[in-house]
C-alpha cells in the first residue's frame, strides 16, 4: 500500500446487498472504488451488529485492492489478530473503545497492517498529537457510528482542518466516515481529507445486476472532492 494524498473513494459495504457481498465488492471495484470499507459493529460499542472475522475472510478473495476494516467494537485488542488474519490491509480502532489506545495501535502495527485511529464526533483531537508516530490513518466520524444513511455533522469540518494542521506533511491519511455525498465531499476534501467513505451515496440506484450507477456515484463524489482540493 503506497501512500498518496490523492482522493480515494471507499464504499462502505454496510449499504451493499447483504446476500451478495462477494459480487458487491467486485462490482464497486470494477466501477472505480479505490478501497473497500468494512464496518465491524458489536452491538455494544455501537448499537448495531455486523461482520465478524470469518465474514471478512470470506469477502477478502473478492477484493483486489485495499480492505479497510473499521472496528467499532470494545474491547478491541482481543480481536486484532483475527481481523489481520482475515486479510485486512488497514485496521482502525476507536480512541473511545478503551483506556489503552497506544497499546491497541502498537498491536495493530505488530500484525504488519496499517493502523487507523477513529474519532467519534464528540471527541477532540488533543490526544492525536501523542499518537502521530503510531498511526497511518485517522478516521473522523462525521456521523455517530452505528448506522448508514445518517446526516453529515457539519461541525466536524473544522476538526478535519485542525487535524490536517497537526498532521502536516506526515504520511497519514485523513478518512471521513458518514454522510459523505456530492454536497459534503468538497467540504472535507478542502479541509484536508483524502479518503472518503460513502455507503448510501455510492450504492443508491444500483445493484450487482445493474452496477453502472455505482460508477456514476463514485465518479460524481470524486469529481466534487477533487474540484475542491
Ligand atoms: O461507519 C459507518 C457508520 O457507523 C459508516 O461507514 C456508514 O456505513 C457510512 O454510511 P453513509 O453515511 O455513507 O450512508
Whether 158 is a known active-site residue: answer no
CA–CA dist 36, 13 (Å, integer) = 7
Whether 34 is a known active-site residue: answer no
Would you give the DSSP letter of residue 145?
Answer: T
Per-residue pLDDT tens over the stretch 141-159:
999 999 999 999 999 999 9
* ipTM exceeding the 0.95 mark: yes
Give yes or no for residue 14 CB within 6 A of ligand 1. yes
Give yes or no for residue 20 CB within 6 A of ligand 1. no
How confident is the model at residue 161, as a pLDDT? 98
197 DSSP β-pair partners: 10, 177
Per-residue pLDDT tens over the stretch 89-104:
999 999 999 999 999 9
Of residues 34, 104, 38, 35, the one with CA closest to residue 69 = 38
CA–CA dist 64, 59 (Å, integer) = 10
- Residue tagged active-site, from 34, 39, 42, 194: 39
Binding site feature residues: 12, 37, 39, 70, 146-149, 177-179, 199-200
In testing the pocket of ligand 1, which one of 35, 39, 151, 184 has its CB within 8 Å of the most ligand atoms?
39
Split at pLDDT 50, 70, 90, the class of 1 is confident
Nearest CA to ligand 1 atom 8: 148
**Domains of the chain as residue ranges with CATH:** 8-228 (3.20.20.70)
Per-residue pLDDT tens over the stretch 22-64:
999 999 999 999 999 999 999 999 999 999 999 999 999 999 9
Give yes or no for residue 149 CB within 6 A of ligand 1. yes
How confident is the model at residue 52, as a pLDDT? 97
State if pTM tops 0.95. Answer: yes
CA–CA dist 53, 57 (Å, integer) = 6
Would you give the DSSP letter of residue 42?
Answer: B
Find the mean pLDDT for residues 117-144.
97
Give yes or no for residue 178 CB within 6 A of ligand 1. yes
Find the mean pLDDT for residues 95-124.
98
Amino acid at each position: 500500500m503506497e501512500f498518496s494524498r490523492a482522493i480515494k473513494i471507499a464504499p462502505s459495504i454496510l449499504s451493499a446487498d447483504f446476500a451478495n457481498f462477494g459480487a458487491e465488492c467486485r462490482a464497486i471495484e470494477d466501477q472505480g472504488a479505490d478501497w473497500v470499507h468494512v464496518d465491524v459493529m458489536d452491538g455494544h460499542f455501537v448499537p448495531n451488529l455486523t461482520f465478524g472475522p470469518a465474514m471478512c475472510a470470506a469477502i477478502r478473495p473478492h477484493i483486489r485492492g485495499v480492505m479497510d476494516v473499521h472496528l467499532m467494537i470494545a474491547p478491541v485488542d482481543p480481536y486484532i489478530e483475527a481481523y489481520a488474519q482475515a486479510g485486512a490491509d488497514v485496521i482502525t480502532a476507536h480512541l473511545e473503545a478503551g483506556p489503552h489506545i497506544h497499546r491497541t495501535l502498537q498491536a495493530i502495527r505488530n500484525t504488519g497492517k496499517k493502523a487507523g485511529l477513529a474519532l467519534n464526533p464528540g471527541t477532540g483531537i488533543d490526544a492525536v498529537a501523542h499518537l502521530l508516530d503510531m498511526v497511518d490513518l485517522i478516521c473522523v466520524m462525521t456521523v455517530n457510528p452505528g448506522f448508514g444513511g445518517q446526516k453529515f455533522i457539519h461541525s466536524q469540518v473544522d476538526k478535519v482542518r485542525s487535524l490536517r494542521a497537526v498532521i502536516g506533511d506526515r504520511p497519514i491519511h485523513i478518512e471521513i466516515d458518514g454522510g459523505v455525498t456530492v454536497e459534503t465531499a468538497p467540504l472535507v476534501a478542502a479541509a484536508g481529507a483524502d479518503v472518503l467513505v460513502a455507503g448510501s451515496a455510492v450504492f443508491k440506484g444500483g445493484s450487482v445486476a445493474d452496477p453502472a450507477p455505482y460508477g456514476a456515484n463514485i465518479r460524481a463524489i470524486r469529481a466534487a472532492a477533487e474540484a475542491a482540493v
